[in-house]
Structure 1
């Protein structure tokens, strides 16, 4: 799985490990496992990145208060 980043950068997500699976299922309580990625790995020092998903482009943006906003 990879996420499209500006300027032809691609972020490859690490392979799932038992620690990732445990943390994801334990924190959400849904029983499903999900990969865990730190936002600094996605943003790579930038304020915003574009994510292409199913033919649509989304913008992930970090605010001054440290929140994340995902818009279509």
Structure 2
């Protein structure tokens, strides 16, 4: 594919950007808008072992296991 490694596009694994591309700095501009809302699982579960979540007309079950893992099932 790239016979000459010097012409191969450089990839910045830390930022996920192509260092040779024109999108340099785009991540910094979009990052605040792309951040997910963070909610503690204890705030969702409120002391319960499981809760039901309605999403697009379907019921999902979020369950806390004995080992402290979360399982989401439909």
Same fold by TM-score greater than 0.5: yes
Flag structure 2 segments of 5+ consecutive residues without an equivalent: 1-30
Q: Which runs of 5+ in 1 are unaligned?
A: 1-20, 23-31
Task: Say which one has the larger Rg.
Answer: 2
Q: TM-score, structure 1 length as denominator?
A: 0.57
| Higher RCO (CA < 8 A, seq sep 6+) | 1
TM-score with structure 2 setting the length: 0.55
Instruction: Spell out structure 1 runs of 4+ moving beyond 6 A.
Output: none
Q: Distance in 1 between matches of 2:39 and 2:56?
A: 20
